[in-house]
Structure 1
Amino acid sequence: MAEIPYAPERIRVLPSWLLGRAAARGHRLVGEALGREGMRMMHHAVLATVAELGPVSQADLGRVLRVDPKDMVAIIAELHRDGLVRRTPDPADRRKNAVSLTGAGTERLRRTARLGDEANDRLTAALTADERAQLVDLLTRIITPPDGGGD
């Protein structure tokens, strides 16, 4: 296991520091797991979003995932090259491409979702099922501003 970076005691008890360390470990575990399928986390996120939203424009994908349009074009091109997504003219606006999963994309997403779940199980292995559910609830409340606005 990676060594926890030094921080003064006053810092080590701050929720922000602990959340950052937990997030870094989670990213590392998930990134390594997805890497076994030759995938990066953002590629997995795009596949999962396309699966959930159905055919979706590249522009909408970028907005939903908060990815720069140039970066989204590159990600979609890589996924298309690997046969995981198809780009077809959007019936609502022929100037846009609608992105959808191929059969291979659906299968890759199924495998990477399983790997991501396994990595998250490793991340939360010290917790009971009830504690994990509570953690998810608490984190959801932390990232959702009470007034519904953004930060």
Structure 2
Amino acid sequence: MDTAHDMPLPDDQAGTPQRLAALPSRLLNLAAAQGERMISGRLAAVDARKWHYAALAALEEYGPASQATLSRRTGIYRSDLVAVINELEAQGAVKRAPDPDDRRRNVITLTSAGRAHLRRLDAILDTAQEDLLAPLTAKERAELTSLLGRLIAHHAGRREGEPAHSGH
């Protein structure tokens, strides 16, 4: 079986030292950057951003939420989430109303226009995922997704520099 050091380099990395080109962390970063460019560019073409998609998806899946809850569910900092909600509200995709149980906070609700917008964004992201993963078979795509999920789950909650604990 070939090791990463034995694999030929893609043309765009032909001048990259082999030990650098074979680092999994570097490859993950390069793939993530390519995905980010593809997603951001396609969303921008319809006046949307990845955080719009995240907020709309969370609201559809879990229902109305306070800004704090929506921040936790999406990973959007609370200060940035206010701008996202303002943009989505201006588009008619969400509505913001005082929480009847606590008038000091707002509840964000997905509108029917927001659901329709989310469907359009789903289609855009589906196409972008297809293009990003084009060189992989369906089985390889599923395996990649599973492996990335395992990496993320393994490192979730660990601080940088903390040792990983194996269950062995």
Superposition TM-score, scaled by structure 1 size: 0.89
Q: Which has the higher contact order (CA 8 A, sep 6+)?
A: 1
Q: Distance in 2 between matches of 1:57 and 1:107?
A: 22
- Identity rate of aligned residues, in percent? 44
How many equivalent pairs are there?
148
The letter of the residue matching 2:58 is: T
Distance in 2 between the 1:9 and 1:42 partners?
36
1:79 aligns with 2:88: yes
Give the aligned partner of residue 37 of structure 2: 28
In structure 2, the gaps of 5 or more residues are: 1-10, 160-168
Q: Deviations over 1:78-120 (max 9, x none)?
A: 1111111001222332221111111111101000011001100
Cα deviation for residue 22 of structure 1 reads 0.6
Deviation sequence 1:59-84 (CA, Å, 0-9, x none): 11122223222211111111111111
Q: Distance in 1 between matches of 2:90 and 2:133?
A: 35
Deviation of 1:123 (Å) = 0.5
Q: Which has the larger Rg? A: 2
Whole-Å separation in 2 of the counterparts to 1:106 and 1:117: 16
Distance (Å, rounded) in 1 between the aligned partners of 2:40 and 2:157: 30
- Preserved contact between residue 71 and residue 78 of structure 2 (Cα < 8 Å): yes
Supply the RMSD in Å over aligned alpha carbons: 1.8
More moved, 116-125 vs 56-65: 56-65
Match of 1:38 among 37, 47, 68: 47
* Structure 1: runs of 5+ lacking an equivalent: none
